[in-house]
Structure 1
Amino acid sequence: MRAVLRERGFRLIYLGMAVSLLGDASLLLIPAILAKKLTGSDGAAGLTLFFFTLPLCLSPLFGYVIDRVDRRRFLIAACLLSAAALTPLTAVTGGDTLWLLYPVSAAMGCSYAAISGALSGLLKSVLPEDLLAEANGALQTTRQGLRLVGPLLGVAVYTSSGIGAVVLLDAGTFVIAAAAFAALPKPAPVPAAPRGRWREEFSAGARHLAADPFLRRAAGAFCLMFALAGATESLIFAVIDHGLGRAPEFTALTSTAMGVGAIIGGLCGATVIRCRGELFAIGTGIALYGVAVLLWTVPAEPAVLGAMTMAGAGLTLAGVARMTLVQRRSPGHLVGRVSTAFEAMAGATQLLSLVAGAALVSLVDYRLLLAVVGLTICCAAAHALRGRTPAEHPRPG
C-alpha cells in the first residue's frame, strides 16, 4: 500500500473517498432501521435495500456518460448532487412519510453506481497498471473497514441527535470529497475510440464483457452469487430477530464484524492477485461468503459475528479482484462502460433476489432460505475457480 500512497493523485482520491465513505457508512443502516422501527416488518427494511439496488440496472447509462466526460468533473458533480439528495430523509417522522425512505435509497444507489464507475476509470488513467490492485485494495479496505466505526457512529448520532444530524454528517462528507476531487490535477485525456451508432456505443461495455473469457467468467460467478445472495439483506434481520432475539440496532455490530473481515480481505487482496490471479481471488472470496451465510443458521452471537467477519473478508477480496480484472482487461475508453455493465448484470440479479427475500422471509423458515443461498454461492465460487487465471493471457491496453 505504501507504493500507491506515494502517488499524489491517488492520495487525493483516497482522501475524498475515505471521507465520503465514512459518511456513507454512518447512513448505511439508517433507512433500514427506520423502516423496521416504524413498521416492525423485515420486508419493509429489506425494501430499502431493494431501492438502493434498483439504480444498478441503469449503470450502463452512467457508464455511457462517464466515458465521454472528464471523470474528475463528473465525480465532483456526483458528490454535490448526492449531498443534496439526502435531505428528504429529515422529513421521515412516521408512517405517513415512510415512503420517502425509498426514493432516497434509490438516490443513494444512483450515487454509488455513478461514483464507482467513474472512480474505476479515473484510477486507470492516473496510475500505472502494476499499482491498480494495490489501489483497489486500499480503497476497498477503507470502504468496508469503515464498518468498524461508521454504523456505530450513525446509530449513536441517530439515537442522540436524530436523523437530521446523520444526514448533515453524510452530506458534509460528500462536499469534502468534491473538494478533494477538485484539487486533482487534470489527468491526461483518454484516447478516444472511433464512434459508431449510439446503440453500439451504449452496449460496448456489455459486448466487451461478453467477449473477454475472463471477464465473462467473473461476471457469471457474481451473477450466480447475487441471484440468491440479495435475499440476505432481509434474512439478516430475521437472523437477528428470530435467531438471536436482538433488536434491529444489533445490525451495527454485525456490520462492524464485517468491517474487521473486510480489513483482512482488503490487505490480502493485492498479494493474492499477484500470486494466483484475479479469478482465483474472486472464487476464494465468494467461497468464504458462501460458508459464512451457511453459518448464519447457528443461533449464537459468536457464530453469527464470526461468520460476518468471514463474509466481510470474502466480499472484499472478491471485490478488489473484480475491479482490478475490469481495469486490466478493458481499454481506457471503455473502462466506465465495462465497469457499469458489470454492476448492472450483478445488480439485476441481486434486485430479483432482494424482492424474493423480502417476500419469502415471512413465509419460509429463514434457516432453510440461508441454506439454499449459501450452497448457491458456493456453486458460484466453483464456477470462478475452474480453468486458468487471467495472468496467462495478455491484457488489452
Structure 2
Amino acid sequence: MWTLLRTNRRFRRIFAGNVVTSFGESAVYLSLAIWVKDLTGSNAAAGIVFLTIAAPGLFAPLLGHVVDRVSRRRLMIGMDLGMAVLFLSLLAVRDAGQVWIIYLVTFAYGVFSASPAPPALLKDVLPSADAAAARSLILATGEGVRIVSPVAGAAVYVAFGGGALAMFGTVTFTVAALLLVSVQVVESAPEPAAERFRTSVAAGFRFVATVPILLRLAATTLAFMTVVGMLETAIFAANQGLGRPAAFLGVITSVQGAGSVAGGLVAGAAVRRWGEVRATGAGYALIAVGLLLCLAGDVPLFLVGVAAFGLGLPFVVISLGTALHLYTPARMQGRVNAAVSSVTGTAQAVSIAVGAALIGVLGYHAMYLIMAATAVLCAVSLLAGRVARPEVAPSVADDDSAAAGLEPGAGLEPKVSR
C-alpha cells in the first residue's frame, strides 16, 4: 500500500481527494440532520435527511450507464464543483421554511455517493496488480476519517452555525475538484452507444451473471445484506441489555471503526495471497465470531466482538471491489459496480426496516443469531466449492507497468481459487 502511494502520483492525488471528500461528507451530513431537527423540532424531518441521501442509490444503474459513456475524470470534477456550489445555497437557510434547500443538497449528495465513477476511474489509473492494495488503503483511511469527522462537523455546527457547514462543504468539494484537475489520466475510450438504452442499463446485471466468481461474491454479499441491516436497531437493544447508557454507543461505534481500520490495512494483502473467494470467506468467519461474542453478556467480550465484526467487513468489501476491478472491462465498470451496489444497498435498506419492525418481536439475541448464521452460511458456500478466476480484464494503466518492466496484472494469472 505505501509503495503504491509513494510511487503512483496519479493515484496519490486521487487518494488525497477521496480523503478530503470522505472527511467533508461524513462531517457534514450528520450535522445537517441536527440542523433540520433544530429548525423544525421534528425527528421525522431530521430522518428525511438520511432518506434523501439513500434514495438515489436506487437509480445507480442509470448513473452507471452515464459513467461508461463519458470521461470519468471530467464527470467527477463536474460533480465536485456542482456540490461545492450547491453547498453555498445552504447560506440561504434561515428557518423551517427553507428546509427544502437542505433536502435538495442532501439528495444531490446522495447522487454523488451513488455514482460509480470513482471505482470506474481507478480501473484506468491503477495497474491490475495494485487493485487490492489501493482499495485496502482507501477503505482503511475512510474508516479512520469517519471516526473523527462527525465530531468535527458537529463541533463546527454548534460553534458557528449552519452557515459554517455550508462553507465547510464548499471548501471540501472545491479542494477535491482541484486535486482531480491536477491529475493527468489516459482514460479508456468510451464505447459508442450501439444498443438500446434499456439494454445498456441492464448490461451490468447480465455481465455479473456470466462471470462465476463475480456472481458468487455478489450473491453472498446480497445474502448478508438482507440481514445485516437489523444490526442498526439491534445494537440499541444490545446496549440496553448490557446495562450501559445510550452514550456508550459512541464507544461501540469507535471500537467497530478501529476494527475496520485494522481490517482495511491487512485485507488487501490477504486478497493477493489467498484470492478474492477465500479472503471473503475469512471475512464472513470473523464477522460470525464477532456477532456471537456480542451475545456473551459481558461488556469486554461485547467490545471484542464488535472489533472482530469491524475487522471482518473490509475483507468482504475489498475482495468484492478487487474482483469487480480485475474481471470487468474498463467501459463496463460503471454499470457493473452500479448493478452490484444498487441491489445490495436496497437489500440493506429493507433489512433495516425489517429490523426496526421486528425488534419487539424477536429481540436482539435472535437477530444477532440470524446475522451470525447467515455469515457462517456465506463463508461455507464460498469455501466449500471451487470457482475459476477468469482472465484479468486489461487496464490502460497496465501499459505503464509494462513500460516500467513490470508484468501487467503480475500475480493475477487465471487459476482456480477456493
Query: Shorter chain as normaliser: what TM range?
Result: 0.7 to 0.9
Is 1:394 aligned to 2:391, yes or no?
yes
User: How do 1:115-264 residues align onto structure 2 when only pairs under 5 Å count?
Assistant: 117-190=116-189, 192=191, 195-240=194-239, 243-247=242-246, 250-264=248-262
Conserved 8 A contact 1:327-1:335: yes
What is the CA–CA distance in structure 2 between the aligned matches of 1:124 and 1:23, rounded to whole Å?
A: 25
Q: How far is 1:244 from its partner?
A: 4.5
**Structure 1 88/304 Cα, relative in aligned 2: closer, same or farther at 3 Å?**
farther
Conserved 8 A contact 1:152-1:252: no
Conserved 8 A contact 2:125-2:185: no
Conserved 8 A contact 1:125-1:190: no
**Structure 1 274/289 Cα, relative in aligned 2: closer, same or farther at 3 Å?**
same
Relative to structure 2, which stretch is displaced further, 360-369 or 17-26? Answer: 360-369
**Alignment partner, residue 376 of structure 1:** 374
Q: How far is 1:338 from its partner?
A: 0.6
**Structure 1 101/253 Cα, relative in aligned 2: closer, same or farther at 3 Å?**
farther
**Structure 1 220/371 Cα, relative in aligned 2: closer, same or farther at 3 Å?**
same
Relative to structure 2, which stretch is displaced further, 345-354 or 378-387? Answer: 378-387
Counterpart amino acid of residue 354 in structure 1? I
**Alignment partner, residue 334 of structure 1:** 332
Conserved 8 A contact 1:272-1:281: yes
Alignment length (residue pairs): 391
Counterpart amino acid of residue 324 in structure 2? V
**Alignment partner, residue 309 of structure 1:** 307
What is the CA–CA distance in structure 2 between the aligned matches of 1:198 and 1:76, rounded to whole Å?
A: 25
Conserved 8 A contact 2:330-2:393: no
% of aligned pairs identical?
31
Conserved 8 A contact 2:69-2:190: no
Cα RMSD for the two superposed structures: 3.3
Where structure 1 has 5 or more consecutive residues not aligned to the other structure, the ranges are: none
Relative to structure 2, which stretch is displaced further, 196-205 or 84-93? Answer: 84-93
Instruction: Give deviations 1:46-98, integer Å, cap 9, x for gaps.
Output: 8765554332221111100001111011111222333455565995978x998
Q: Secondary structure of 2:184's partner?
A: coil
Conserved 8 A contact 1:209-1:338: yes
Relative to structure 2, which stretch is displaced further, 119-128 or 171-180? Answer: 171-180
Q: Determine which of 271, 274, 278 is the counterpart of 2:272.
A: 274
Q: How far is 1:122 from its partner?
A: 0.8
**Alignment partner, residue 348 of structure 2:** 350
Where structure 2 has 5 or more consecutive residues not aligned to the other structure, the ranges are: 395-418
Report which of the two structures shows the higher radius of gyration computed on alpha carbons: 2
Q: How far is 1:259 from its partner?
A: 2.5
What is the CA–CA distance in structure 2 between the aligned matches of 1:118 and 1:21, rounded to whole Å?
A: 15
**Structure 1 251/151 Cα, relative in aligned 2: closer, same or farther at 3 Å?**
farther
**Structure 1 182/265 Cα, relative in aligned 2: closer, same or farther at 3 Å?**
same
**What's the TM-score once normalised by structure 2's chain length?**
0.81
**Structure 1 45/275 Cα, relative in aligned 2: closer, same or farther at 3 Å?**
farther
**Structure 1 292/70 Cα, relative in aligned 2: closer, same or farther at 3 Å?**
same
**What's the TM-score once normalised by structure 1's chain length?**
0.85
What is the CA–CA distance in structure 2 between the aligned matches of 1:381 and 1:303, rounded to whole Å?
A: 23
What is the CA–CA distance in structure 1 between the aligned matches of 2:90 and 2:169, rounded to whole Å?
A: 13
**Structure 1 190/222 Cα, relative in aligned 2: closer, same or farther at 3 Å?**
same
What is the CA–CA distance in structure 2 between the aligned matches of 1:92 and 1:242, rounded to whole Å?
A: 41
**Alignment partner, residue 25 of structure 1:** 26
